[in-house]
Chain A
Amino acid sequence: MHPSDGTLRRSLDEPVALDPRARRHLASCPRCEQRLTAIETDAATAFATFAAHDPSINLDAARARLAESGAATAADGAAIRRSRRPARIGTRSARASRVMAGVAVAAVASVALVVSGGAQDFLSLFQPKQFAPVPVTSADIRSLAGLASYGAIHAGSSPNIQPEPDAAAAGLAAGLTPPAVADLPSGASAAPSYAVVSGTVVSFTFNAELARAAASRAGGQLPPMPRGLGGSTLTVSIAPAVVISYGLDLAALFQGGGLPSGGTSVIVVASRTPTVSSTGVTVKQLETYLLSLPGIPATVVSEIRAIGDPTKTVPVPIPIDLASASTVDVNGASGVLVGDSTQIGSLVLWQHNGIVYAVAGTLSSNQVLGIARSLH
């Protein structure tokens, strides 16, 4: 029996609420997959529409105002007084601070992701197909992270991690078939543990006033804005991910625990490819404009523009003073390998058939690439 539209809608926000029977059905029903895609598109539109800065609240001032209004109302029965607005402090909320890392990613994506189609599109929705490394320095990263100050970031519910007993349960919860590792190096734990990280949505809304101030801080002026740019929003919808761990306590890691000091650890992640949408202007217009802003390093601009077809490619910023990166082939798919000059480990990232995969481990580049190529 097909799950209801309401159940499918809830599965996007709260996948663990889905009962096992519905999970099994969803994993194998093309019709429900099609319905889910339509529901997901409408949800992304709604998210982009309602993405807004939460008001900056000065609780003390608000409390004082309430006390005064209460006294005035009690004294003469007058309507609530609105003449005194509380002082507002422009502090960023703690939640917003926590998503700054996500913001940087969204900002970088906003620079780099381009969508085909005309400027008349109200909403553009697409899925990038592959990754390409873009070398950046630590200073470049600071500049790119500064793009976040050109607008407002809104993050959906914080991702949470849910342990799953086996691969089948994890796959059902995340809506995909988890990969199996065929070739683990000696020393790695043979018994994997499984978990699912919930999906989330992050948006970046361009704000002309904030942008003007940020441009001024960067020592330049804001270039003329195309019509519709003010308030335009870029939204990235991230699907739930299956995490398969060999030798790592996933729950502890997510709660801020460090990597184990010894032994070999490997993590494999698989998730449906994120979708990206824009409102107000096309992502192409947003990219062009953001690349013209003062303070964006010329080398980064040039690297991003050099990526062949950015409609389908997500640039992955690689801090060259910490790690090396190269483009690699993973069973026919183009991926990014982040090398082991960090002496911590290596990572490879690629996409195949609408699924993004990542393999990371406290191993050499060649070993991690070997594991990636052994997935089936």
Chain B
Amino acid sequence: MVDSRAAHTLAVPFVNGGSLRSRASSGTSTEFDRLFTEEYPRVAAIANRVLADPAAAEDVAQDVFLDLHRRFGDDPGAKAPAWLHAAAVHTALNVIRTERRRSAREERSVAGPASSDDPQIAVEAAETRRAIQALLARIPRRHAMVLALRYSGLSYAEIATALGIGVNGVGTRLRRAEARLRKEIGDASI
């Protein structure tokens, strides 16, 4: 389930609409369709910055769009992109933190689906995922969020809207997050 905090950052009315399947089969185009086309790759990219796992990132993108439609229907409003960006990073961070708490499942979660038949490549990919996920799990969520959004290519204005803060605050938060990240890397040397 998508983190409810994402929805709370927006105070715009959304209208419930028809089902995804009926709309897909009828071929009618809606605001939701346009949004999906424009934002789905970016939502997946944001999740991938957190998870370092393209397949898991697409799972998150699917969850986020499904939740958007469930909550707000076919015409989710002008602030929907910001909602999607925040929801993507919240949901991806939740995946890390939930899975890390479940020690029995941790190894499978961190390793993720094998992207290669070569065991050495699979081990390297798993190590990269483990290192990035461990880093993001150790730093405050507000820091992890601004890092994931910025390094997915969002502008300061877009990040400000997604996080519900002023654009001048983005630089401050990003600076603190990068300093903390640098310290964590120095301490742990991933």
User: In the complex, are the beta carbons of A46 and B175 less than 8 A apart?
Assistant: no
Digit string of A188-215 for contact with B (CB within 8 Å is 1, else 0)?
0000000000000000000011001000
| Residues of chain A with a CB closer than 8 A to B176's CB | 5
Shortest Cβ distance from residue B70 to the other chain A in the assembled complex, whole angstroms: 7
CB neighbors of B among A60-74 (8 A): 62-71, 73-74
User: In the complex, are the beta carbons of B175 and A70 less than 8 A apart?
Assistant: no
Digit string of A26-51 for contact with B (CB within 8 Å is 1, else 0)?
00000000000001011101110111
Give Cα A82 to B23, complex, Å.
21
| Residues of chain B with a CB closer than 8 A to A46's CB | 147, 151, 177-178, 181-182
Interface of B is mostly: helix
Interface size in chain B (residues, C-beta < 8 A): 63
Q: Does B164 contact A (CB under 8 A)?
A: no
User: In the complex, are the beta carbons of A57 and B40 less than 8 A apart?
Assistant: yes
* Nearest opposing residue in chain A for B42, CB measure: A54
* Segment from B4-12, B44-52, B97-105 that makes contact with A: B44-52
Q: Which of B61, B174, B185 contacts A122 (CB 8 A)?
A: B185
User: In the complex, are the beta carbons of B171 and A67 less than 8 A apart?
Assistant: no
Shortest Cβ distance from residue A211 to the other chain B in the assembled complex, whole angstroms: 10
Give Cα A63 to B25, complex, Å.
11
User: In the complex, are the beta carbons of B182 and A85 less than 8 A apart?
Assistant: no
Give Cα A82 to B109, complex, Å.
14
A contact set with B: CB distance below 8 Å: 4-10, 13-14, 17, 39, 41-43, 45-47, 49-57, 59, 62-71, 73-74, 80, 82, 85-86, 93, 122-123, 156-157, 208-209, 212, 230-231
Inter-chain pairs besides A4-B171, A66-B62, 6 sampled, C-beta below 8 Å: A6-B174, A45-B178, A54-B44, A55-B57, A69-B66, A74-B19
19 interchain pairs (CB within 8 A)?
A6-B168, A6-B172, A9-B171, A42-B181, A45-B185, A49-B190, A50-B49, A54-B44, A55-B44, A62-B36, A62-B61, A69-B62, A69-B66, A70-B70, A71-B21, A74-B21, A208-B121, A208-B124, A230-B125
B contact set with A: CB distance below 8 Å: 19-21, 23-25, 36-37, 40-41, 44-45, 48-49, 52, 54-55, 57-59, 61-63, 65-66, 69-70, 115-116, 118, 120-121, 124-125, 127-128, 132, 135, 147-148, 150-151, 153, 155-156, 168-179, 181-182, 185-186, 189-190
